[in-house]
Every structure is written in C-alpha cells, then in structure tokens.
Amino acid sequence: MSHIFPRHTKATPPTVAYGKGPHLYDTTGKRYLDGSGGAAVSCLGHSDAAVTDAIKAQLDKVAFAHTSFFTSDPAESLADALIAHAPEGLERVYLVSGGSEAVEAALKLARQYYLEVGQPQRHRIIARRQSYHGNTLGALATGGNMWRRTPFAPMMIETTHIAPCYEYRGRTEGESAWDYGQRVADELETEITRLGPETVMAFVAEPVVGATAGAVPPVEGYFKRVREICDRHGVLLILDEVMCGMGRTGTLFACEQDGVRPDIITVAKGLGAGYQPIGAMLCSGDIYAAIEGGSGFFQHGHTYIGHPAAAAGAGAVLSRLIDDGLLSHVAPMGERLDAALHDAFGQHPHVGDIRGRGLFRGIELVADRDTKQPFDPSRAVHKALKKATFDNGLICYPMGGTIDGQSGDHILLAPPFIIEDADIDELVGILDKSLRQVLG
C-alpha cells in the first residue's frame, strides 16, 4: 500500500526506473518516448551528464544557504546568463522553485512597484480566457481556464479576462490575420477603459498558449499592439513563458519572435529541464530601481529561492542550450516534426488544426473538420487518447476544454530538444495508431 497522495486516487501509475535520452523506462522494462517532456519540462532528455555533474559538484560544496544570509556563485552566474540573453530592459532575476511561484512573484512585484511609485490605486489584473498561469491562488485567479478556477473561485482575487489570440477559432471569414490580431488586442484597451486606467496594474499573457489550448501562437502584430496599449495606459506587461520559454519555441525567450519587450517575464520548466526544481522572474531595471530607491525590500520570499544546487543545474542547462548549440536544434527539428504531423494528419477527418512553434506543437481534434464542431465533452476524447498513447509507449499531453474550458480536445507535444528523425517517426507512428484506436 502506497502512502503517496497521488494526482488521481483512482489510477495507479507505473513506477519509473530510469531515463535515457528522450525515453523513460518503468520497473517492468517498458520504454516510453517522452513526447511532451513531461509537461514541457525535459528539454534535454533524461540523462544529460553535464547537468547532473554540475549538480553533484555543487552538492560537494554546499547544498543550501538561505538567501536572507547568503548569495551563491551558481545563483549569481545563472542570473548573469539569463540577463545576457533576455529582452532589452530586463535587468534583474528573482529565482524561485517553479512556475507558479514565478507568477506569484511577478504579481506581487507589480503591486509593490505601484505602491513604491505612489500609485496605490493600481491593483487590477487583466489576462485572457483559456490561459493558464499556475495553481497557487494568485496565479490560478489570473488564469482564464474555468475548469481549473471554478472550485476555488470563492478564495481568489478578482481578475478580468479578454479574448485570447486564437486564430483557428476566432478569426472570421474574410478577416485578415493581421486585422484579427489587432481586433482582439484592442479588447485590452476596451477593458482597461471599462475598469478605469488608473486602477489597472498589469496585463498577463503567454506568448504561445500552452496547456489549456495546445500551443496556440499569436498572429503577427498582436503583441506589438498589446505593448502599445500597455504603454499608453501605464500598465505593466507580464509575459508568462513558464511553458513556452527557454528555447521551446526556437528562441531562448518566446517573445523574441514577436519583437516585444515585457516589463516582467516568468520562466521555469525548461530552465531546470527537470533536473532540479527551479523558476525565475525577470524584471526591468525601472521596476527594480523603484524598489531600490524606495523601501529597498521586496515583501516576498520562499525558503528555497536561489537554491545553489538548483541554480548550478539551471546554469548547466543554459550552457547546453547556448554554448553547446542545442537551442539551434529546435527550429529545424520543429519544422521536421510539423511536416511529419501534417503528412500524417493534415487530411485526417478529426484533426482540425496543427499549430505551434519550434518543438511546441498542438493538434486540435474535432468531430467535424468542415464545421470545426468539437467532440461531445462526455466522450472525453482527450482522456481516451492519453491512455491509448501511454499504453502504446508514448507520453504526450492531451487535454480537454480547449475552446472554453468545457468543449474541445487537443494534444500538446513538447519533445526534448535532443530528438532525432527516428524519434519523430516513432512519435508520429504511435500517435497515428492511438488515434485510430480511439477515433476509428
């Protein structure tokens, strides 16, 4: 009998034994291709010696020193490396232990910033429907996924949500992609005006939407318009790159491809590549200067922030991505994966859309390709697919509620950056077999 409190009490997962490259093995010897990197985490696969050696070396020096007393060389070096490659204007790094913590830190810093600069009335947060920003209460309240929010709604801060930039579902007939992007971006200005510009603190968005909608990229010009609106009204732009950042879309920071500079950005998942729990919030020099020139104290913190061993591991991950060139592998292999998906499923009667950037790809499933009619939620197609693919030796990330938190099904793919042609063939082959088993 296990004493673990599992994610689901009515399912008993196999026990993982070891990992090698893009594969995981359970204690029976069964092999699984990690086609989603867990939850877009394992960007380097499961046996990167450079990362494990860096962690071991740090453990031989010191495992932990509380940041109220010490900084550490690994934390300082990691912050230097992040800022060296971050969007212009970002100057400081606040290390945490994961994505939800990073988002909570970003929200609290945004609030404290406005207190420090004498605008205490600014406290409202605007985000987008079908977004996901974490499971702690502030992050959950910011996210726009109703299925996740509803049970805890009485405990959450008030936030408001505008339409996502979701071209497959949102662009109307005869409307150009550019005009569509400008139209949905302009919803932000409408909402700021409705709430009162002097009360709005921040707009929070994922550059490429991850878990809740399945690798949905913005159309060209959308985020530049968002940046203009935020600047006009003095609203901070917080970009959540916990899932889509750290090279996943082909550039270290996903927002690079949209030519936009945030005031605050959050990263996690791929930053540690699964080797240690770590995340980070990066903020602009202006925000840091307001704290430094005011109270001098960010009223926030967790026990394990800046953990030396975690920082050493993340530093090695960044070195593998940048110095060893693994980041340059993402775009070409992403194109290879995209081509393979289109070849296999581009005319599939139940595949409505294949989308994404780099090695961050989504497949939206539909009951009717012509009308985009989703499957009846009672069929729980995503759950059946998750079981079928796993039984067949593929780990992927199917989810339901793609459209509105209730209707729609998609599959999210986020394989390790070390993936090769043979792995892509294996992934697509297992996915094809599983789709035939579930959908006929």
- Mean pLDDT for back-to-back runs of 10 residues, the chain (440 residues): 92 96 98 98 98 98 97 98 98 98 98 98 97 95 91 94 98 97 98 98 98 97 98 98 98 98 98 98 98 97 97 98 97 98 98 98 97 97 97 97 95 98 98 96
- Cα–Cα dist 227/241, whole Å: 16
- Cα–Cα dist 249/256, whole Å: 10
pLDDT at res. 146 = 86
- Record the tokens describing residue 36, joined without a space: 């989603």
pLDDT at res. 32 = 98
pLDDT at res. 357 = 98
Nearest alpha-carbon partner for 160 in 132, 127, 185: 127
Q: Determine if the pTM surpasses 0.95.
A: yes
- Cα–Cα dist 186/154, whole Å: 30
Nearest alpha-carbon partner for 415 in 123, 10, 11, 35: 35
